[in-house]
Structure 1
Amino acid sequence: MLRKLLFWSLAVLFPFPLVQTYDSLADDPPQLKFYIFLGLIAYTWWLLSIALSVRPSWLHRFVGLPAIYGLHGMLGVLAVVAAYVHREFSYSPSGLARDLGDWSFYTALAVLCFSVFFMSGWLVDRSILLLRAKGILEKVVRHQLSVWVHRLNLAVVAMIWLHVHLLVRVNQYFAFMVLFDLYTVTALSAYAWKKWIAPDTYLMGTVVSNEARGGSTRRVSLGLDSKSATLQPGDFFFLRFEGAAAVSREWHPFSVTDADQKTLTFTIRQHGDFTRRLEGVEVGARVRLEGPFGRFDSIIQDRDSEAPLVFVGMGAGVAPLLSLAAAHHTTRRIHLLWAVRRPEDAYYRDVLEEYQAASGDRLQVTINVGRFRREDLVGTLSREAVKKGAFFIVGPNNAVVANQRLLRRIGVSSRRIHQERLTM
């Protein structure tokens, strides 16, 4: 909790030097200064949002990607609100500066609306109607298009940067403009480095197998050129297939099914426009990997070794939970709950049976056809697990939200529920 509080304080701390510098130099009326401050805050929030979108490696182990994505999304919303107030109540004698401000605002608003619907689960994960509408629209709006629309935030920053440089009221203060440009260059340099330079330093691997598992899942194994020394159980990577004509070159996140540091196995549900084309990836295809990411194992290590662990996986969401079970089934009490669509989709039943046999009765496995309902959880989970257990949920976004609600209703504290949804 303290880590997340410190992390979220970035929203306040990051704009402060720029706002304070302008306040100390400018002699505008207090009311006008306030609206200028809002514009500066909105701009720095967009810059911080861009910086967070590159998934800083030094930050993800500290708070986890869900927290990074959460702040990224909230900054986008708050920046549009602050920009709206700034636009409505401030003024500029420069016509081009006004036009640039208007264009940047409406572009940012359009990107926000698009991203909230297509790239986050804020709405669609909580409404079946909106989820169905998104599924229909995604036949036209492909994931790759969504990514490029999201990158229009770079155009927003460019327009605002020029907007500020055209304002005589602002550009007359040399020290402020130097700091303003330093903010901009730092954020955009971090983005450019991570997107175009850093990938050359990422792990590389080769597809050694690509097999169907069940009706809509594939098991893809990659032989790495070098070991992933920092890999922990429950981690995931962002993958990009190099030169594979059947799939997009955009990055996509997938969880590791086991803890082998040399050959990584991914269990992937074929759901979106990218994953449906995975069957076309041939053995020998080259893959670039960014990561690993994840905090599940760190959370487990920090907990009392006597407290039970409860893993809840939906479909291919069992993948990271399998690696956690492999690492801890002989030392921790674990109850793994796996919801599958059809009996034949329980393709890791034999692996789980091996873990159970070696666990000394520490591992309990419950496989259910269809999602777990409240009565299933009440009848399956022990009273001790509900009161003291740490819960780890992995699966489709709407299913994760539904299971979180069920667990809270039967008495599980939200502080003991952990999940890693990978929406931005």
Structure 2
Amino acid sequence: MVHTLLFGGAVAVLAFWWVGTPISLGATPGVVLMCFGELAGLLGSYFVCLQLLLIGRVPWFERAVGMDRLVGWHRSLGTAVVLLVVTHVLLMIVGGAMIDRLTLWSEVLMTLATIPDMVSALVGTAIFLVVGTSSARLARKHLSYEVWFMLHLSIYVGIFLTFAHQITAGTHFVGSLLAQVVWIALYVGTASSLLMWRVVLPLVRHQQTTFRVEQVVPEGAGMVSVWMRGAGLERLSAQGGQFVLVRFLTRGHRWTSHPYSLSTVPTSNMLRVTIAALGDHSSATAHIKPGTRVLVEGPFGRFTAERSTSSGALLIAGGAGIGPIRSISEDLLRRGQDVVVLHRSQTADGLALSSELMDVENLRYEPLPGRRAELGYDPLAPHSILSLVPDVAERDVFVCASESLMEAVVISLRSLGVPRNAIHYEELSMS
């Protein structure tokens, strides 16, 4: 359904371009280049709106697809938008230079001097390129989350600066009031959705439920559990395995929110997240003082017990992945399922929350500490999993670990005959 909606919008843009393209499309090479440049610009503009809606936390999208897939689509569309913007600019300049019989540089100067809103469009395009470059894997390795986040916020300025020239200079909009109204409605609708779901409703919920840090508990290997108290938690309707966006209202934290998985099923007034020290922000949570106010948004995610259709479940956690595994085990046990938890860590100190999983009725906990080089084998290789869980092919399997470990585990599970639709995992990232 979501795919159909997204693809249908792209087809509508293509049809709009075709209907508004002059009959003289093939008259000269310059005209051809400019016409296809306009198509690249229209598709780029549509994809920008779509890209924003995908991470706009619209509940219907999130429930239908899952936040991890929406973020993945957002990243892919980001690459497409940058390529389309660059293509649009190059084709318009080269095509215009061919028509006007000018050098490329002369065409650029004439365009900036004579066409309305082109200077602001140039600045906006530069912002698009900076944001796109900052999202490349190589750049992300050298940028903190906070710097990356602030750069991404500038994309709203870029969108604003590039919008006007579409209406005042685009051949498909000049002289067509209907086209202008529809295109403006697309942008206004996108902006309204973002404002509603990312600003207004979170603030309203914050007024209804105020959270404060109750305590910060060290869990070993750099991990801490943050307990938060707040009345009316039942409004969140949170389930084990889901995550929330947390913004601690204290120095160094108040300007960004981060996704953290619930490590217990929330009660009527308490919730807990368990956080591994994987970056500046997550490392600093160990020093947050009790009483600190917290903004909590969510919950998000479909990594929940509801996806299980078997009578038994195998839960596999890698290091900090034990948080959502710990909470989802609660819900699975409440459903009366037989649960096995395999907890992988390179050190025994990394087996956080292990004491909470030992000696639980109907739950078998198998800690798997140690480096493969020291052990002489891979604890999550197919034969190792089979020796621990002989009926693995008959169970639903929930996996939460690093990307590389998760991929290796999925390969092991598939080789053991576990159906693809019985393997459940979710990437926890909003960047």
Q: TM-score range by the shorter chain?
A: 0.7 to 0.9
2:350 to 345, 353, 358: 345
Q: 1:3-402 residue pairs with structure 2 within 5 A?
A: 6-27=1-22, 29-30=24-25, 31=32, 32-90=34-92, 91=95, 94-95=111-112, 102-117=122-137, 134=141, 137=142, 141-167=143-169, 169=171, 170-202=173-205, 203-229=209-235, 230-242=237-249, 244-261=250-267, 262-297=269-304, 300-306=305-311, 308-329=312-333, 331-355=336-360, 358-359=361-362, 363-370=363-370, 373=378, 376-381=381-386, 382-385=389-392, 387-402=393-408
Give deviations 1:234-270, integer Å, cap 9, x for gaps: 111111112x125343111111111133210111112
CA-CA distance at 1:119 after TM superposition: 8.9
Give deviations 1:275-301, integer Å, cap 9, x for gaps: 11112211111111101112122xx43
Q: Distance in 1 between matches of 2:18 and 2:91?
A: 18
Q: Distance in 1 between matches of 2:125 and 2:69?
A: 26
Structure 2: tracts of 5 or more residues without a match = 26-31, 97-109, 373-377
Q: Distance in 2 between matches of 1:400 and 1:235?
A: 18
Letter of the structure 1 residue corresponding to residue 317 of structure 2: G
Q: Please give the root-mean-square deviation of Cα atoms over the aligned residues, in Å.
A: 2.7
Q: Distance in 2 between matches of 1:409 and 1:112?
A: 38
- Aligned to 1:211, the other structure's residue is in SS state strand
Q: Distance in 2 between matches of 1:98 and 1:399?
A: 48
Sort the Cα spacing of 1:402 and 1:109 in 2 relative to 1 into closer, same or farther, 3 A: farther
Aligned residue pairs total 391
Sort the Cα spacing of 1:288 and 1:214 in 2 relative to 1 into closer, same or farther, 3 A: same
**Is the Cα–Cα contact under 8 Å of residues 234 and 321 in structure 1 kept in the other structure?**
yes
- Aligned to 1:249, the other structure's residue is in SS state coil
Sort the Cα spacing of 1:177 and 1:334 in 2 relative to 1 into closer, same or farther, 3 A: same
Q: Distance in 1 between matches of 2:134 and 2:6?
A: 23
CA-CA distance at 1:410 after TM superposition: 5.0
Q: Distance in 2 between matches of 1:36 and 1:311?
A: 51
Structure 1: tracts of 5 or more residues without a match = 1-5, 121-133
1:124 maps to which residue? none
- TM-score, normalized by length of structure 2? 0.81
Sort the Cα spacing of 1:295 and 1:118 in 2 relative to 1 into closer, same or farther, 3 A: farther
Sort the Cα spacing of 1:419 and 1:181 in 2 relative to 1 into closer, same or farther, 3 A: same
Q: Distance in 2 between matches of 1:289 and 1:118?
A: 31
**Is the Cα–Cα contact under 8 Å of residues 122 and 162 in structure 2 kept in the other structure?**
no
**Is the Cα–Cα contact under 8 Å of residues 381 and 409 in structure 2 kept in the other structure?**
no
Q: Distance in 2 between matches of 1:19 and 1:380?
A: 50
CA-CA distance at 1:231 after TM superposition: 1.1
Give deviations 1:96-131, integer Å, cap 9, x for gaps: 5655555444432332232132798xxxxxxxxxxx
Q: Distance in 2 between matches of 1:216 and 1:290?
A: 25
**Is the Cα–Cα contact under 8 Å of residues 87 and 101 in structure 1 kept in the other structure?**
no
2:28 maps to which residue? none
Q: Distance in 2 between matches of 1:196 and 1:400?
A: 34
Higher relative contact order (CA 8 A, sep 6+): 1
Structure showing greater Rg: 2
Sort the Cα spacing of 1:88 and 1:28 in 2 relative to 1 into closer, same or farther, 3 A: farther
- Aligned to 1:364, the other structure's residue is in SS state strand
Sort the Cα spacing of 1:145 and 1:375 in 2 relative to 1 into closer, same or farther, 3 A: closer
Sort the Cα spacing of 1:24 and 1:51 in 2 relative to 1 into closer, same or farther, 3 A: same
Letter of the structure 1 residue corresponding to residue 156 of structure 2: L
**Is the Cα–Cα contact under 8 Å of residues 267 and 319 in structure 1 kept in the other structure?**
yes
CA-CA distance at 1:411 after TM superposition: 4.8
1:130 maps to which residue? none
Percent pairwise identity: 19
CA-CA distance at 1:42 after TM superposition: 0.9
Sort the Cα spacing of 1:184 and 1:215 in 2 relative to 1 into closer, same or farther, 3 A: same
